[in-house]
Amino acid sequence: MLSCSIRSLRRLKCCCNKRWSSLILAKGYCFSKPKVVPSFCNTDIKFSRFYVWEQQSSLRQWRRRSLYTVTDTYEAIELALDSVVKIFTVSSSPNYFLPWQNKSQRETMGSGFVIPGKKILTNAHVVADHTFVLVRKHGSPTKYRAEVQAVGHECDLAILVVESPEFWEGMNFLELGDIPFLQEAVAVVGYPQGGDNISVTKGVVSRVEPTQYVHGATQLMAIQIDAAINPGNSGGPAIMGNKVAGVAFQNLSGAENIGYIIPVPVIKHFIAGIEESGKYMGFCSMGLSCQPTENVQLRNHFKMQPHMTGVLVSKINPLSDAYGVLKKDDIILEFDGVPIANDGTVPFRNRERITFDHLVSMKKPQ
């Protein structure tokens, strides 16, 4: 079943083996000798100059890219016609009440697009519990058998491969771009419900922040757009200029013109893990719960200096790598050299802020 609504789901904790990044901690009551994990973290690095440069660079990049968002829409559509495919999936989900048998087979449809390496990128929920998968390119009546090479349910992405040489005749791949800025125009291409032919909807970027992924019940970065995303659009590209800005995967039920696409950093993280190891590697998580330190009395209780900002560790998963390294009531001041604010956010692009969980999730698992 295509997941196209956001429900209130409980966030799953991902415990993966990874090397600790530069993480500066301040032990409760003991700020005279702060605890540093690991010891090689350089606390003398100044970030203010870099942050100002990053803001100016982002502003120049936005001005330069905004010149191409008006006239390149038709070129993007023409490029997508030879790249976007319709996916037909026959799946059989497990029957948890009768575990010795599966549920009856059902057929679902979705979208996908060709990426370099003669591979097709789509959503994980499009091919979840699949029995077999068929793909059909635009303008062709023939369906071709596809094999699922890798699935990442956590990030709701999957890669398909087609062995037939006939399928790849006339097909072009789409290149991955960058994270779009607010109000930049994107075109969502796919095969939504209501018809059999390809569909193109246009909208602008409304928000960029970590969002809960319905299929994987995890929180990763997502891009909110006002273009229509309906069942069947899942797996289709959101094109900005002549490159892909994201992959359509869900919308907000009960709201108008609120859809979400998976951004390029998440896609590249997913693909890079498969290319390096041959299998899905997953996304990192510290395996702990943090509490904001916006309350003045709370900061005074832990003897935080006026220049100190960070979050309070309230709970640690016993199965995570953080268990035994961090302790409850530790205060995380920085992650990988980036200061963490009292509300748990870090600087992002031009005068934007996101939760520091994004920095953790983008680390490479070991």
Confidence of residue 13 (pLDDT cuts 50, 70, 90): very low
Residue 267: what pLDDT? Answer: 95
Among 25-29, 54-58, 148-152, the range of highest mean pLDDT:
148-152
| Best CA proximity match to 73, nearest among 259, 202, 205, 226 | 202
Sign of CA dihedral 237, 242, 243, 246: negative
| Total-model pTM | 0.77
In the chain, residues under CATH classification 2.40.10.10 are 71-168, 184-277
Question: What is the homologous superfamily of the domain 71-168 according to CATH?
Answer: Trypsin-like serine proteases (2.40.10.10)
In angstroms and rounded to an integer, the radius of gyration of the C-alpha atoms of the chain is 22
**How far, in Å, CA of 83 to CA of 101, rounded?**
38
More confident residue, 61 or 262: 262
192, 232 contact by CB (below 8 A): yes
Residue 205: what pLDDT? Answer: 92
| Best CA proximity match to 240, nearest among 225, 229, 250 | 225
Cβ neighbours of residue 342 under 8 Å, at least 6 residues apart?
Answer: 292, 293, 294, 299, 309, 310, 311
Confidence of residue 254 (pLDDT cuts 50, 70, 90): confident
Confidence of residue 35 (pLDDT cuts 50, 70, 90): very low
Given this structure, which CATH class describes domain 184-277? Answer: mainly beta
The one-letter amino acid code at 2 reads L
Query: Using the 8-state DSSP alphabet, how is residue 124 labeled?
Result: G
Q: Report whether pLDDT(38) > 80.
A: no
Query: Using the 8-state DSSP alphabet, how is residue 125 labeled?
Result: G
- Per DSSP, the three-state class of 358 is helix
Token pair in block for residue 216: 């994987």
Confidence of residue 277 (pLDDT cuts 50, 70, 90): confident
193, 230 contact by CB (below 8 A): yes
The distance of Cα 18 from the centroid of its chain, to the nearest Å, equals 19
Residue 19: what pLDDT? Answer: 40
Token pair in block for residue 233: 């659009």
CB contact burial 173-182 (16+ within 10 A = b; e otherwise): bbebbebbbe
**How far, in Å, CA of 198 to CA of 189, rounded?**
7
Residue 73: what pLDDT? Answer: 60
Phi/psi region, residue 274 (left: phi>0; alpha: psi -120 to 50; beta: rest), is: alpha
Residues with a catalytic annotation lie at 125, 156, 234
Integer CA distances (angstroms), 106 to 59, 307, 325, in order = 48, 58, 47
* Number of CB atoms found within 10 A of residue 95's CB: 12
Ranges of H-type helices in the chain? 48-66, 73-81, 264-277, 296-301, 357-361
**How far, in Å, CA of 356 to CA of 344, rounded?**
6
Q: Report whether pLDDT(16) > 80.
A: no
Q: Report whether pLDDT(2) > 60.
A: no
* Number of CB atoms found within 10 A of residue 38's CB: 11
Residue 313 host element (H or E): strand 311-316
